[in-house]
Structures are given as C-alpha cells and as structure tokens.
Amino acid sequence: MNVGNAEKTYRFFQAFYLFAFFGFGSLFPLLSVYLENEKHLNNTQIGMIVAAIPLVTIFLQPVWGMLSDFTRKPRQLLLIAGVMAGIMSLLYTWLDGFLLLFLGIIGIALFQSAIVPLSDSLSLHFVQQFDKEYGNIRLWGALGFALAVFVVGNITDMTGSLTWIFYAFSLGMILSVFALTSFPKRGQSVQIDFRQGFKTLMKEKTFLIFLCSNFLIFGPVLANNYYFGKFILAVGGTLSGVGIAFLLAAGSEAPFMKLSQKIINRLDVIPVMLLCAFISFARWLFYFFDPNVTLVYATTIAQGISVGLYIPAALLFVRQTAPKEVQATAVGIYSAVGNGMGNAFFTFIAGILLDVLNVFWMYAFFSCMTLLGMALILVVRKEAMKQSSIRNTSYEGV
C-alpha cells in the first residue's frame, strides 16, 4: 500500500468509527429509558437485559477473533456483523415481554460484539504499519456517539417515541458498512495459539493486577452509559437534555483522544490512568449528592479526560506490559474484562440498586469501586517499578 492509498484508508477508518459509534450512541444511552417507558419493565429486568450485551461480548468476542484469525477476512466479517446487527435492531421494535426482549437483545449483541474488536485490531495494525495515531481514528467514534445521542434525543423528545433509537442504530450500522470498502482485505496471520498466550499472560502479575483495576474503573464508566439518561431525568432533565448531556460528555472525549499521545509522553502511562480514575471517582461521588441538573451538564465534560485519555493510555499500558508475542491476546483479554465482565457486572448491580434504593446510591457504589481501582493502580505502579529495577540490575550485571 502506497502513501496515497494509506491516507485514503486512514480516512475510511475514521468514517467507519464515526458511523459505527453513531449507531451505538443512538441505542445504548436510551435503551433503559425505552424498556421502562415503552415496555414497562422494572429496573431489575432492565438491568438483566442491558447486562446481557456485555455478557455476550465476553463469550463472542474471542469467537469473532478466532474466525478472523482462521479466515483472515476481518473486513467480510465486519460486513456481516454490521448488516445483521442493523436487521436485528429493526426486528427488536416488534418484540414485547421480558423473555422476548431479553432474547432479542442477545440477537443484537451477537453481531454488535464483533464490531469493536475486529475494527480495533485492523486499525491498531494499520497505525503501527504507517506511523499513524490510534487516537486520531478513535476520536471519530467519540464524535459519532456524541452526535447520535444529541440528534436522537431531540427526535425522541419531539415525536414522543423512543422507537427511533433502533432505526438510528440500524442506519449507523449500514453506513459503517460502506466505509469498509477501503479497509485492508486481509488480517494478520496468527502469531501464537490463544490458549498458550492466555497461560503466558496469567503468569504476568502486573498485567493481572491491571485487569482488576480496569474492571473496577472502566466497568462503572460503561454502565453509566446505560443509566445516565435515567439519572438526567431524575434530577429534572428531559430527553432533549439527555442528548445535550451526552453531546457534552462524548464530544469532549475527541479533543483529549487527539492529544492523548502527547499527554502520555509528558506524564507517562500510569499517572495518566490514575488521573482519569480520580476524575471518574470525583464525578460519581458528586452525582450521589443529587446535584442541580445544570451542574450535571457542566460536569459531563469531565468524561473527556476520564475516557478520552484512559482508553489510549490503557491500550498502551497493555502493549507495554504484555510480552510481544502475546500482545494481541492481551488486548483481547483486556477488552473482555473491562468492556465485557466489568460492564456486565456493574450494569446488573446498578439495575438492582435502582430497584432497592435509587440512582444516587448507584453512583455511590460506582465511586467506592473506582476508589478501590485507584488503589490497585498504585499497586500496578509499584510492581512496574520493581520489574524495571530488576531489569536494570540484570543489565548492569551483564
């Protein structure tokens, strides 16, 4: 691939993230509101349905990854996943009753779960090959997500129907498929067996502690995406206000993602992750005290730092910590633990807390767990320094 073609592919990667995350932003922030207002489910049932999405992700992402490794045709797999996710979301609007709605969301998640890992794998390989920055691709996802919640929030408010979230999700999936035309046709060849790679990583103490901290820090961030709309309504906002809040929150991620590499180079990876975790902790704790809705809108900008910097920093830490021959496996496990297990756990527990207590106690729980995650980052830092000292001593001995 020459320089001109590489630049064209770079733009198509950005377009794909814009449209794919437009779909995500249309559906996930308002899904819990849809299930409550239009399907009349209780919060525990809602928690089970929305938690099914990351749970499916845990089990299906490795399967999509193995299919990609075996066929070396990730572009075709993304095409299938995008089209089928769009079709399944349209069918979902016809379903009623907890069981059918639960099975329907599993159908959507079955294909939606392929989109992020396959596109991330392709984009990370591309930026390494052509000396580009992943943050400059991923920020278009943040922009798409922000734009979707703002536009769809206003449409649902004006029409009085939340069914639009599924139509917009389907539109985003179909548009993202058109951006695949300039993606690399084939994926990387498999470098190491997944089972062997997993065994190797389970011996890496620093990596394991980081996984625990990521579970506690990023799990609440992802669960918040499902319930933040309910929180806005609880403090006096409207569906249009939900759109504005997500526009500010997700939109603020983009500039920080663009600056992420410079900030990481200046501060180093672990201090950046610690800063992001502290900002998330402060935000969740503030929400516990039932703040004025105007102040809530103002604090959403904090997500730019807590997410826009955390995602690139965490990915870079995984690549730095994991042995070179198992880095792809490490990224997959990192994604499964944070985006899958953490997301599912905190989404489900949040649904129970909403039924038993209220949305403010949900954020109290989030703040406590994030604080514990911060403590584990300090342990990660100590372990990393210890390993660095051992390596330096070994070099001096040689």
Residue 219 above 70 pLDDT? yes
Residue 231: the pLDDT is 87
The pLDDT of 37-42, averaged and rounded, is: 88
Among 154-158, 215-219, 251-255, 268-272, the range scoring the smallest mean pLDDT is 251-255
Among 99-103, 132-136, 149-153, the range scoring the smallest mean pLDDT is 132-136
Residue 327 or residue 46, greater confidence:
46
pLDDT grade for 381, boundaries at 50, 70 and 90? confident
The pLDDT of 334-355, averaged and rounded, is: 82
Can you list the positions of beta strands (E) in 334-390? none
The pLDDT of 386-392, averaged and rounded, is: 56
Residue 329: the pLDDT is 66
Residue 129 or residue 32, greater confidence:
32
The pLDDT of 281-289, averaged and rounded, is: 93
Residue 25 or residue 206, greater confidence:
25
Both tokens of 171, joined, read: 């539109």
Residue 327: the pLDDT is 63
The DSSP code for 300 is T
Average pLDDT, the chain: 81
- Residue 398 within any structural domain of the chain: no
Q: How many Cβ atoms are within 10 Å of 252's Cβ, its own excluded?
A: 21
pLDDT grade for 200, boundaries at 50, 70 and 90? low
Residue 243 or residue 1, greater confidence:
243
Q: Which residues contact 385 (CB under 8 A, 6 or more apart)?
A: none
Domain count, the chain: 1
The pLDDT of 339-360, averaged and rounded, is: 85
Give the integer Cα–Cα distance in Å for 64 and 57.
10
Selection from 182-196, 314-328, 340-354 with the highest mean pLDDT: 340-354
Residue 47 or residue 204, greater confidence:
47
Residue 112 above 50 pLDDT? yes
pLDDT digits (tens, 9 = 90+) for 292-304: 888 888 888 888 8
Q: Which residues contact 213 (CB under 8 A, 6 or more apart)?
A: 277, 373, 374, 376, 377, 379, 380
Q: What's the predicted TM-score (pTM) here? A: 0.72
* Cα–Cα separations (whole angstroms), residue 211 to 63, 68, 96, 373: 21, 24, 38, 10
Among 38-42, 220-224, 290-294, 302-306, the range scoring the smallest mean pLDDT is 302-306
- Residue 2 within any structural domain of the chain: no
The pLDDT of 98-127, averaged and rounded, is: 85
- Residue 397 within any structural domain of the chain: no
Give the integer Cα–Cα distance in Å for 26 and 384.
40
Q: Which residues contact 43 (CB under 8 A, 6 or more apart)?
A: 36, 351, 352, 354, 355
Give the integer Cα–Cα distance in Å for 17 and 144.
7
Among 95-99, 139-143, 334-338, 373-377, the range scoring the smallest mean pLDDT is 334-338
Per cent of the chain over pLDDT 70 is 87
- Residue 7 within any structural domain of the chain: no
pLDDT digits (tens, 9 = 90+) for 202-214: 667 778 888 899 9
Per cent of the chain over pLDDT 90 is 23
Residue 394: the pLDDT is 45
- Residue 45 within any structural domain of the chain: yes
pLDDT digits (tens, 9 = 90+) for 236-272: 887 777 777 877 877 777 788 778 778 888 888 889 9
Residue 341: the pLDDT is 83
pLDDT grade for 343, boundaries at 50, 70 and 90? confident
Give the integer Cα–Cα distance in Å for 230 and 245.
12
CATH of residue 345's domain is 1.20.1250.20
Residue 337: the pLDDT is 79
* Cα–Cα separations (whole angstroms), residue 326 to 69, 70, 267: 14, 17, 26
Domain interval for residue 26: 15-174+193-387
* Cα–Cα separations (whole angstroms), residue 249 to 25, 61, 172, 273, 384: 12, 27, 20, 18, 32
Cβ–Cβ under 8 Å, residues 204 and 321:
yes
- Residue 396 within any structural domain of the chain: no
Among 35-39, 86-90, 184-188, the range scoring the smallest mean pLDDT is 184-188
- Residue 394 within any structural domain of the chain: no
From first CA to last CA, the distance across the chain in angstroms is 42
Among 76-80, 102-106, 339-343, 366-370, the range scoring the smallest mean pLDDT is 339-343
- Residue 202 within any structural domain of the chain: yes
